[in-house]
Amino acid sequence: IPFPFMLKGDFSGGGRQTFECTSDSGFAALLKNFNAYPAVLQEKIIGEEIGIEAFYQQGALIHFSYARPLKTVENRKFAPSKLREYTQTGALDATLLDDLRNLGRALGADGFVNISLLVAQADQKRYFFEADMRPTTWVDFPKFFGDAPAHKIKNYFRSGMTCNELAQRDA
């Protein structure tokens, strides 16, 4: 993987095991004290970070939200977000829905999934880099702009309704 790249411990705990490597000497210095194994190397993608809170059942997408992190805890570079700007899902590109459905099937997702992706500056492609099988504090925030996850989850368990189209925009 060419520089720059990311080195991430598998149990990062709020980004504390996430490091950006920009040179051979920086990587060598990092490895002297790095003890977060297993670890993963990832190509660094320059772009806009997006947080997605999703709910799946047996790999089927039931609900998701889409938000751009604006501030992080203690203003640390790789820390969890503490302020987000949400976009109504009806305003998004429909291919994102296909990507999220494919991701859920590939992972066999069953329950809440905290997904992170980057929209690359260079080519505007989406690069998914994390899918944690757990909810976060953000999971219920869409209810504040008319897209309550609880309603969609209830509809799934009552009638088997999955997320097959983007919700209409709420002016």
Helix (H) / strand (E) containing 163 = none
What is the rounded CA–CA span in Å between residue 108 and residue 22? 35
39-89 tens-digit pLDDT: 989 999 999 999 999 999 999 999 999 999 999 988 888 888 999 999 999
Closest alpha carbon to 60 in 93, 108, 128 = 108
pTM summary value: 0.88
The predicted structure's pLDDT at residue 107: 97
Q: Encode pLDDT of 7-21 as tens digits.
A: 988 776 677 888 999
What 3-state DSSP class applies to 14? Answer: coil
Cβ(11)–Cβ(38) below 8 Å = no
Tokens (6 digits) for 127: 């690069």
What is the pLDDT, as a whole number, of residue 171?
65
Q: How confident is the model at residue 169 (pLDDT cuts 50, 70, 90)?
A: confident
Distance CA 63, CA 115 (A): 13
C-alpha distance from residue 168 to each of 89, 92, 94 (Å):
8, 10, 12
